[in-house]
Amino acid sequence: MEHIFAKKSLGQNWLVSQSALAKIVEAAEIKRGERVLEIGPGKGALTERLLAAGAEVTAIEKDHRLTLPLQEKFTAELKKSALTLLEADALKLPESLLADLSPYKLVANIPYYITGEIIRAFLESDFPPIKAVIMVQKEVAKRILAADKKESILSISVKAYGAPTIAGIVPRGAFRPVPNVDSAILVISDINKNFFDTIMARDFFAIVKKGFAQKRKFLKSNLDISNETLSACGLADKIRAEDLILNNWKNLTEKLHPISS
């Protein structure tokens, strides 16, 4: 596979650091026989580690150039059904495939230009992973964790479904070709939809998006609500969207869009 060069248009950067690969698999806490969905196996470096850990891997590869070399590399694993290799777009997977895989873990070094879409698609799916371990840009991971105590649509969206942590920072030199940014191993654990027990997801996200519409404005202006409504939710008059934590948004949604009993 050495003659296959990374395609910039597909956001390909091969992860070549053995320590980074080991950290990803360690963070995934794979038990023998567990099902793992891998997006963008590339040249198979992570796939190899996942199989060695005892996972039953379904690898989704969009790049036609890599399918045959991967088949040749993993002939034995494909034959004994330890590995399933599909040439497909990870953002267009049928729900039936995810249903058949469930319960599964999502473990991947994903193309950075579709990070937000991948996270949203899998967390919002009817058949989400029970855990996700994905390589993302370091700054994106920090934004998801709200390391600066300033929340965003992305951080709130992830926390509504699971608990995000960073398992490690991966320097840009761990990839070929070398990207312009450092990366982080983002772990989203305890993925579920329990947060939406008393609210509708569509109402919640509509309020969050409206609240962040103009970041520098106060929340009451963006949502067009009164000081009394804010006070009823335990919020100050001059508060901005980035200062609200997850449950503040839930309280607002319950107040503005109550579900009739």
Q: List, for residues 103-162, the tens digit of each pLDDT value.
A: 999 999 988 888 999 999 999 999 999 999 999 999 999 999 998 899 999 999 999 999
Predicted pLDDT at 12: 57
Predicted pLDDT at 147: 85
Asked if the model's pLDDT at residue 5 lies above 80, the reply is no
List the domains of the chain with CATH numbers.
8-192 (3.40.50.150), 196-256 (1.10.8.100)
Predicted pLDDT at 159: 98
Residues 6+ apart with CB under 8 A from 119: 132, 134, 154, 157, 158, 188
pLDDT tens per residue across span 8-64? 555 558 799 999 999 999 999 999 999 999 999 999 999 999 999 999 999 999 989
Asked if the model's pLDDT at residue 200 lies above 60, the reply is yes
Predicted pLDDT at 4: 58
